Amino acid sequence: MAKEEGYRSRAAYKLKQMDERFHFFRGARYVLDIGAAPGGWLQVVSEAVGEDGLVVGVDLRPIEYLELGNVETIVGDILDEEIMDEIRELLPGSVDVVLSDLSPNISGVWDVDQFRQIDLATMALKVSQALLRRDGWFVVKVFMGSEYEAYLKEVKAAYRKVNIVKPMASRKGSAEVYLVARYLRRRRRAR
Ligand SMILES: C[S@@+](CC[C@H](N)C(=O)[O-])C[C@H]1O[C@@H](n2cnc3c(N)ncnc32)[C@H](O)[C@@H]1O
């Protein structure tokens, strides 16, 4: 279905379904998408924010050019401190939505994979706290392993409202959920 409708990933539908429920792109202008390759979410956000908006995608892997005027991409590692400078060069001081669909390269060893994934999600949380406007939205994928509860607690400590979502478009039996968080309690100076 994703290919037929011109989206680069089936993940695009997960984002659309979540937005239909929460409307996090309503009125949004500036969006950061972390772990953005191959670019399905970027396509969805590009449509949602319109010509005056801007979405910046970051990924370790280069994102093939999308031919969309309101999309910029950065090739880089979100775990690398200097990436924040690059992001800040493109986005204003205060961002409306931070998205993270970050997944590590899957090793097949569940414990290893979920630890790595939580590390990535933890970095996404810090980035969101440094960049989001107070009533902005943070949407993050999380693998539901042994570290999940602790991570959920961290997100709840950072945001007043946190929803746990399993999009219909997720593969059946997959151990991933998305947290949709809003109302930052306190902004971080740096991540
Ligand atoms: C599930 S894919 C994202 C799919 C995307 N939302 C879409 O719709 O096309 C997860 C991405 O996270 C990226 N990733 C993993 N570790 C990363 C890191 N440390 N920094 C930046 N990107 C990373 C991977 O390269 C991969 O492209």
Domains of the chain: 11-184 (3.40.50.150)
Q: How far apart are CA 80 and CA 76, in angstroms?
A: 8
Residue length of the chain: 191
**Which parts of the chain sit beneath pLDDT 70?**
1-4, 169-173, 191
55-86 confidence digits (pLDDT tens): 999 999 999 989 899 999 999 999 999 999 99
pTM reported for the whole predicted model: 0.95
Whether 141 is catalytic: yes
Q: Is 90 left (phi over 0), alpha (psi -120 to 50) or beta?
A: alpha
DSSP element (H, E) containing 142: strand 132-143
Query: Which residue's CA is minimally distant from atom 18 of ligand 1?
Result: 77
Tokens, residue 153: 């607690």
Give the number of the atom of ligand 1 that is nearest the alpha carbon of residue 33: 6
Ligand 1 neighbour 136 (Cβ under 6 A)? no
Q: How far apart are CA 100 and CA 90, in angstroms?
A: 18
Ligand 1 neighbour 11 (Cβ under 6 A)? yes
Residue 167 contacts residue 178 (beta carbons within 8 Å): yes
Ligand 1 neighbour 106 (Cβ under 6 A)? no
